[in-house]
Amino acid sequence: MQKVIVNTDGGAIGNPGPSGIGVVINIAGKINGYSESIGEGTNNQAEYKAVIFALKKIKSLIGKNKIKDTEVEIFADSQLIVNQLEGKYKIMEDDLKILFVDAWNLKIGFKNVSLNYIPREQNKEADRLVKEAFAKFSSSGNKLF
């Protein structure tokens, strides 16, 4: 069995506004960070998209045949997203329902996927990667405000 540790974060400037994700994936001590500008959206949409990105990336890195023996532990600083994906909170917004289904379906095939809330102070690298995504967005000629 293999265990993968993931930290995710997402954010939007203006909420809604330009948004980005940051994902840190630790597979057997090999740590990779990913930063991506994802266009216009809300903070909550970005948080979901970070989890979706992480699960897709893990599947591509490990391979679909090996994920059945893989446990994924995701740490995020969004209580809303963690509690919705753990089935503790209802999803009221239609746009989040779609993202919930995407994330939920990506969990299928793994041995286990757990989500855990952590305070923002413990999620600094993923948060830094979100800020990097904002910098990429503005350096490409786009205005953040």
Task: Catalogue all structural domains in the chain, each as residue range(s) with its CATH number.
Answer: 2-139 (3.30.420.10)
pLDDT in tens, 26-61: 999 999 999 999 999 999 999 999 999 999 999 999
Secondary element (H or E) of residue 7: strand 2-12
Instruction: Write the Ramachandran bin of 27: left for phi over 0, alpha for psi from -120 to 50, otherwise beta.
Output: beta
Is the pLDDT at 143 greater than 80, yes or no? no
Structural contact between residues 126 and 9, judged by C-beta atoms closer than 8 angstroms: yes
Alpha carbon distance 115, 118 (integer Å):
10
- Residue 141's pLDDT is 55
